[in-house]
A = this chain, B = another copy of it.
Amino acid sequence: MIMSTPRKLGLAVAQMGPVHLADTRETVVARLVEMMREAKGRGAEFVVFPELALTTFFPRYWISDEEANEKYFEKQMPGPATQPLFDEAKKLGVGFYLGYAELTPEGRRFNTAIMVDQTGAIIGKYRKIHLPGHSDHKPEAPFQHLEKKFFEVGDLGFRVFDTLNTKIGMALCNDRRWPETYRVMALQSAEVVVLGYNTPSWNIHWNEPMHLRTSTHLISLQANAYQNAIWVAAAAKCGSEDGHHMIGSSVIVAPTGEIVARAISEEDEVIVASADLTWCENFRNHVFNFAKHRRPEHYGLIVERTGAGDPIA
């Protein structure tokens, strides 16, 4: 019945309002720096920024690969426009997660996130695995969701990195709806999973009631935080980007499945929690003692099948 001594991480989510087509990277980075300062002032040691944080959510536009590469992809990280964020991190002694479109020297393209420690060094990289949307042009749709056109499936797996005396894993947007994402990282002893997202408020594929875009986002984060005994911090880019609205509701969720901090605006907004990592242990030592209770001999289909098939006879 004895509770452990608290072990706390100052964890911030820096939600972003819209980035319009006309906005420059320099303007965007200045917003990120400003939020990093606010987060630090409110006790944060680690700041989570959104997916594709540096530009508008360009997969909504049917444009050529050349135009996309030129306008929306980063050829180096940090580059001239993003260096100020790394400098500020080092100055403040704050780590961060940042999502951006990555163009490799070989011309490969990924929807990527990096983890940067409090010295400003990149210590981990993640390339998005669960790419949603389509690769073909859908001229009848009000906008596109071309992640399968502009990005390859990530090739680095779901990994966990040590920083600030904490084991932190990374994911991106649609990954948060797939329980495998969190489980693979929890099996590597992750204590925190951080992720950014851009989620259009309107589903172009079917007549999905709009309120579900937010409710399914929240229950996915809550249940997976609980079932994996981890903290989850999720940062939206949201509001109306040149007329295309995306959901907000950035949150920090405890291993209890409870939302402990939530953004209420659809603008730049910082939320902070003092994340007591001993709560991970409370659940992992008991109901979610994996070694004691998991039964992988009955989970085979999860890796043996990709799509759904017939019932096993």
A contact residues vs B (CB 8 Å cutoff): 1, 3, 129-132, 153-154, 157-162, 167, 174, 177-180, 183-184, 186-190, 203, 205-209, 212, 215-216, 219-220, 222-224, 226-227, 256-258, 282, 284-296, 298-312
Which residue of B153, B224, B294 contacts A307 across the interface (Cβ within 8 Å)? B294
A257-B216, A312-B157 known; A180 and B298 CB under 8 Å?
yes
Question: Which B residues are CB-close (under 8 A) to A131?
Answer: 293
- Complex copy number for this chain: 2
28 contacts between A and B (CB under 8 A): A3-B207, A130-B294, A158-B298, A159-B312, A177-B226, A180-B299, A183-B299, A184-B302, A188-B309, A188-B312, A190-B311, A208-B282, A215-B257, A216-B226, A216-B257, A219-B222, A219-B223, A220-B223, A220-B226, A220-B227, A222-B223, A284-B308, A292-B307, A294-B307, A296-B303, A299-B303, A302-B302, A303-B303
A contact face: mostly helix, strand, loop, or mixed: loop
| A256/B216 in contact, CB under 8 A | yes
What is the CA–CA distance of A157 and B295 in the complex, to the nearest angstrom?
10
Chain B residues near A129: list those with CB within 8 A: 295, 298
| Residues of B contacting A256 in the complex (Cβ-Cβ under 8 angstroms) | 209, 212, 215-216
Closest 3 CB pairs of A and B: A291-B307, A223-B223, A179-B179
User: Given A186-B308, A187-B305, are A215 and B258 neighbors across the interface (CB < 8 Å)?
Assistant: yes
